[in-house]
Amino acid sequence: MLSAPEAPEPRGRYWPEPAPTRLKVWPAPFKVGKVGVLLVNLGTPDEPTAPAIRRYLREFLSDPRVIEIPKFVWWPILNGPILLARPKKLVHRYEGIWMEGGSPLLVYTERQAAGVRARLKARGLEVEVAVGMRYGKPSIRHAMMQLHNAGCEYILTLPLYPQYSSSTTATVIDEVTRVASHLRDQPAMRFVKRFHVDPLYINPLADKIGAHWAEHGKPQKLVMSFHGLPQRCTKLGDPYCRDSYETAAALAAKLGLADDEYLVTFQSRFGPAAWLQPYTEPTLENLAKSGVTRIDVVCPGFVADCLETLEEISIEVRETFMNAGGERFNYIECLNDDAPWLDALTDMVQRELSGWPIRPD
């Protein structure tokens, strides 16, 4: 699926610079650097097999921004029960959502990059666009080297997480700056911190929900289910919880929903500690038991469908809701590669690039 093999770590302190900047003649000819955009998402296994899932989980769950437990405590837990048991349990869940081109998260992220690339070109702007995954392939290192070797002296990193969290956005910024620390000729760098209430995100999402209602009718409740986070992170100052509620409020306002027409829940709890509440699954079970039989569920913490939405929400939580007496459960997909979203994402990229010397294409 990848066009080139992964870029290795440098052998010395720095990577060798690409040919044009290593000319033997001096002074080197003047070169106006190009502008590059790096779209980053979480990452996903290469294939739905236990070894591939284990590789992915090992890298993901070894990140101290994700698991904030001292290494000497966490290492035996990770390498014992978690990496022995969890990959096998996840195989059939990944198999069930796998697409022809690979894992949905990667397929949609690559389509998003292709969409932004084509739109920037159509607008007459010469901008390189690359995809990097924080864990797994293509790595951020690989994507950065692609941009660097293409002559990009300006790199905008857009982590595809609407809400900021230390466990997602910040670790992307850490990795991009770590890779840049191995470059002799560093690019200028910018980062998008969040876009959780940006109309460029809220409007296409609200339009998608509105279009769904125009076709299928309005539910009794719209459930906005966000990926969870350990409660401790919020207590220590991670703004993700507040960002999620702000996204929900912005979406509800755009849709004209009253407070009792929607609810915010948190999914994907991992481990025994308390995570952000209310938890999605028990909340929806109780909702069905209390007589709310028609709901729509949307996941505004994700811009691309993935295991957490297609499997956890659209299969597992759906089953729980229906078994508890629910009658209609519609999962409204993420924005994925919808044209209005790709238009808006391109607008966002172009806005964030302002002031940089973009050459006409």
Binding site residues, Fe ion, CB under 5 A = 268, 308, 312
Based on CB atoms, which residue is closest to ligand L6N33NVT, 139 or 167?
167
Based on CB atoms, which residue is closest to ligand L6N33NVT, 36 or 159?
159
C-alpha–C-alpha distance, residues 326 and 2, integer Å: 43
Phi, psi at 138, each rounded to 5° = -75, 135
Contact residue for ligand L6N33NVT among 168, 225, 280, 283 (CB under 6 A)? 168
What's the closest the beta carbon of residue 88 comes to ligand L6N33NVT, in angstroms? Answer: 11
Based on CB atoms, which residue is closest to ligand L6N33NVT, 74 or 270?
270
Based on CB atoms, which residue is closest to ligand L6N33NVT, 43 or 219?
43
172 makes contact, choosing from Fe ion, ligand L6N33NVT, none, with CB < 5 to 8 Å by partner type, with none
Residues 109 and 160 sit within 8 Å (Cβ to Cβ): yes
> 3-state class of 184 per DSSP?
coil
Q: What are the angstrom distances between the C-alpha of 248 and each of 193, 258, 261, 331?
A: 18, 12, 12, 16
End-to-end CA distance of the chain: 27
103 makes contact, choosing from ligand L6N33NVT, Fe ion, none, with CB < 5 to 8 Å by partner type, with ligand L6N33NVT
> What stretch of H or E contains 318?
helix 318-323
Q: Which DSSP string corresponds to 1-62?
A: --SSPPPPPPSSSSPPPPGGGG-SSSSPPP-PPEEEEEEEE----SSSSHHHHHHHHHHHHT
What's the closest the beta carbon of residue 261 comes to ligand L6N33NVT, in angstroms? Answer: 24
Contact residue for ligand L6N33NVT among 115, 132, 219, 301 (CB under 6 A)? 301
> 3-state class of 191 per DSSP?
strand
Long-range contacts of 271-278 (CB under 8 A, 24+ apart): 271/230, 273/230, 273/231, 273/232, 274/230, 274/231, 274/232, 275/228, 275/229, 275/230, 275/231, 276/226, 276/228, 276/229, 276/231, 276/234, 276/241, 276/244, 277/231
Q: Which DSSP string corresponds to 32-49?
A: PPEEEEEEEE----SSSS
What's the closest the beta carbon of residue 239 comes to ligand L6N33NVT, in angstroms? Answer: 11
Site pattern 21..60 for ligand L6N33NVT (x: CB under 6 A): ---------------------x-x----------------
Contact residue for ligand L6N33NVT among 145, 306, 334, 335 (CB under 6 A)? 306
295 makes contact, choosing from Fe ion, ligand L6N33NVT, none, with CB < 5 to 8 Å by partner type, with none
Question: Which parts of 79-98 interact with ligand L6N33NVT (CB under 6 A)?
Answer: 86, 90
Residues 162 and 196 sit within 8 Å (Cβ to Cβ): yes
165 binds ligand L6N33NVT (CB under 6 A): yes
User: Beta partners for 359?
Assistant: 126
Contact residue for ligand L6N33NVT among 145, 229, 295, 344 (CB under 6 A)? 229
Contact residue for ligand L6N33NVT among 284, 307, 353, 358 (CB under 6 A)? 307
What's the closest the beta carbon of residue 307 comes to ligand L6N33NVT, in angstroms? Answer: 4
Is 308 annotated as ligand-binding? yes
C-alpha–C-alpha distance, residues 219 and 75, integer Å: 45
Residue 298: CA count within 13 A, CB half-sphere = 26
Based on CB atoms, which residue is closest to ligand L6N33NVT, 297 or 353?
297
The region of 10-18, 164-172, 202-210, 259-267 touching ligand L6N33NVT under the rule CB under 6 A is 164-172
Is 153 annotated as ligand-binding? no
> What stretch of H or E contains 107?
helix 104-122
The footprint of ligand L6N33NVT (CB under 6 A) covers 42, 44, 66, 86, 90, 103, 105, 161, 165, 167-168, 227, 229-230, 240, 268, 270, 301-302, 306-308
